[in-house]
Amino acid sequence: MVVSRTATQTATNVNDLLEQRDIVGLLAIAGGSAGGVILTQRIANRVLPLVGLSPTPQTITEGVASAGTKSVVGAAFMYAATQTNGIGKVLLSFLSLGSLTSAGFDLVQLFIEVPDVAQMQKTSAQQTGWSSRSVSASPSRSRKVSASVSSSPSTSNNSGRATAVGGNNF
């Protein structure tokens, strides 16, 4: 994979700050990046429950919503950085980077901590009002796996709303 010239130049500039021991610059970068992760998570902790989603993603829908919310926050920080100069621009730029890091973490977490098929189906059924009747999977001689799922409408009245507000995923 080829890295852009801008990304390489940014890495070189950060290395130059380290070599020059530019404490103010390093604090702005570190504080901005860490602050972006923390502020963005706190915003997601407040916004996502308002729309009935958990700020600690357990489903694909929640993961995409969380990442989307955090990306919007990152875009707002980016826009603010374009309207500013000096240390404010550096701080806002790295706040944006921290926000995007937090959004990326939520998406990557969905693929690293993939729940089993039955749990995913149960969670989706609760959110959509459908419940599972059966799930079966069997290997065939051609090394392919076939799966079948049958569902029916659920009679429970589960809104899928999160019951707890929180989340410490960064």
Average pLDDT across each block of 10 residues of the chain; the chain has 170 residues. List them in order. Answer: 78 80 80 88 93 84 90 94 89 91 87 61 59 49 50 45 43
* Enclosing H/E stretch for 109: helix 86-112
Q: What is the model's pLDDT at position 114? A: 58
8 Å CB contact between 33 and 105: no
Q: Which of 23, 29, 20, 167 is nearest to 95 (CA)?
A: 29
- Domain of 84 in residue numbering reads as 26-112
Report d(CA 100, CA 71) in Å as an integer: 6
With respect to residue 118, please indicate whether it lies within any of the assigned structural domains. Answer: no
With respect to residue 132, please indicate whether it lies within any of the assigned structural domains. Answer: no
With respect to residue 20, please indicate whether it lies within any of the assigned structural domains. Answer: no
With respect to residue 60, please indicate whether it lies within any of the assigned structural domains. Answer: yes
8 Å CB contact between 60 and 32: no
With respect to residue 170, please indicate whether it lies within any of the assigned structural domains. Answer: no
The tens digit of pLDDT for each residue in 127-153 reads 555 554 444 455 545 454 445 555 555
With respect to residue 70, please indicate whether it lies within any of the assigned structural domains. Answer: yes
- Could you list the beta-strand ranges (E) of the chain: 130-139, 145-153
With respect to residue 37, please indicate whether it lies within any of the assigned structural domains. Answer: yes
With respect to residue 34, please indicate whether it lies within any of the assigned structural domains. Answer: yes
Considering its fold, how many domains does the chain have in total? 1
From residue 3, how far is each of 8, 105, 138, 151 by CA, in Å? 7, 20, 43, 46
